[in-house]
Amino acid sequence: MAFAHLISDKKGENKGETIYRVRFKTIDGFESKITLGRITKKAAEAERAKIELQVYQGKNPRDERKKKKFISLNDLCRLYLEYSETSHSNKYYEMNDYALRRFQGLHSIPDINTIKPDHVESWLRNMKNESLSEATIGMYYRSVKAMLNWAVKRGYLKESPTRYIKIKRPKQSNNEDFFTKEEIEIILDFIRTNITIDLYRIVKLALETGGRLSELVYLNWSDVNKEMITFQGENTKSGKRRFVPIRPKFKEEFESWRSNNNRIFNNWSSVDPPSRQFTKVLKKLNLYETAKGSRSFHTLRHTFATHNLMNGVNIFIVSRWLGHSSISITDQTYGHLITDVAEPKMPY
């Protein structure tokens, strides 16, 4: 009897996303498996349905995938936004959504492996002709670049066309906002008392490591030893692994969080992710809006960098902890704070 069943690889769950496969049997008795990779369950079920249709049409799904092994730009944007909704702040997700809709509107591309640097460059020129600022163009470009790099890491795309493109980077402001010692104490105390323990822990770990939300949610206890937390390359913005030491003052509390689960944090709902919960806390405490603009979960990363530099930690070390691609990025943003020490220094 012909069939097509979706199965998941339990090993993949420890890396943050389930690896899905489809086991099928054709009408003529040929039986095999097709690996779909680390994709959402919704996307995996859609692929299973396609394979099932091919099976009942008397086709061999393996042969069909050799003929047509690609996804469209529209499908890639949809998959990346599903990922972004749970891994990034609400503000960043909305910016991604807008940038990707602009990119989709300019090009209709049925196979993402046919995207060329010319496609991206013509899109950039189009925005420049609209008189958008360099900062805005750069922001939209980084969203598209992040999506294409994500597609390479997931095996959808052989190579990102953006690796051959360089755009002018606007000067970074030396006025990145951060939380003061008093504000940190107020925020942590309020969350610990009134909100979930998971939110308290992920906020505390962001302050201790400078990790991005998209990196923190995928941390496993296997990424932790007595002295160090490892951010694995498949979950970092740069795609490179980095290490952040655990402060002695934080070790005992951090170890008390351990559970039988390998994941440090539970899976967050896309309806109410930690970024949105944290924004609600800031608004409740009247800490959301400042003279420098609105704050977000990402402000915790700036807080980590700012307090470490103000407490004398070498900028090269802080840059390495943050995972910046070069020291110049750290210097442009935080160079004015430089005041030499080799463990994280937080104000509490």
Enumerate domains of the chain plus CATH numbers: 3-67 (no CATH), 73-164 (1.10.150), 181-337 (1.10.443.10)
Mean pLDDT of 47-73: 80
What's the pTM?
A: 0.53
* Tens-place pLDDT, residues 179-189: 999 999 999 99
Helices vs. strands in the chain: H and E counts, helices first: 15, 7
Residues 238-258 pLDDT 10s:
788 899 999 999 999 999 998
Per-residue confidence (pLDDT) for residue 10, from 0 to 100: 56
pLDDT digits (tens, 9 = 90+) for 4-30: 888 886 554 444 457 788 888 888 888
| Per-residue buried b or exposed e for 301-332, using 16+ beta carbons within 10 Å of the residue's own CB | bbbbbbbbbeeebebebbbebbbbeeeeebbb
Q: How far apart are alpha carbons 81 and 100 in whole angstroms?
A: 9
How far is Cα 169 from Cα 186, in angstroms, rounded to an integer?
36
Q: How far apart are CA 328 and CA 342, in angstroms?
A: 20
Element (H, E) at 162: none
Q: What is the pLDDT of residues 94-150, one digit of tens each?
A: 778 888 888 887 666 788 888 888 888 888 888 888 877 777 788 888 889 989 988
Question: Looking at residue 320, what is its pLDDT?
Answer: 92
3-state helix, strand, coil in the chain (%, to 5): 55, 10, 35
Distance CA 327, CA 330 (A): 5
Calculate mean pLDDT across residues 21-40: 83
Q: Taking Cα atoms as reference points, which of 175, 190, 177, 257 lies closest to residue 224?
A: 257
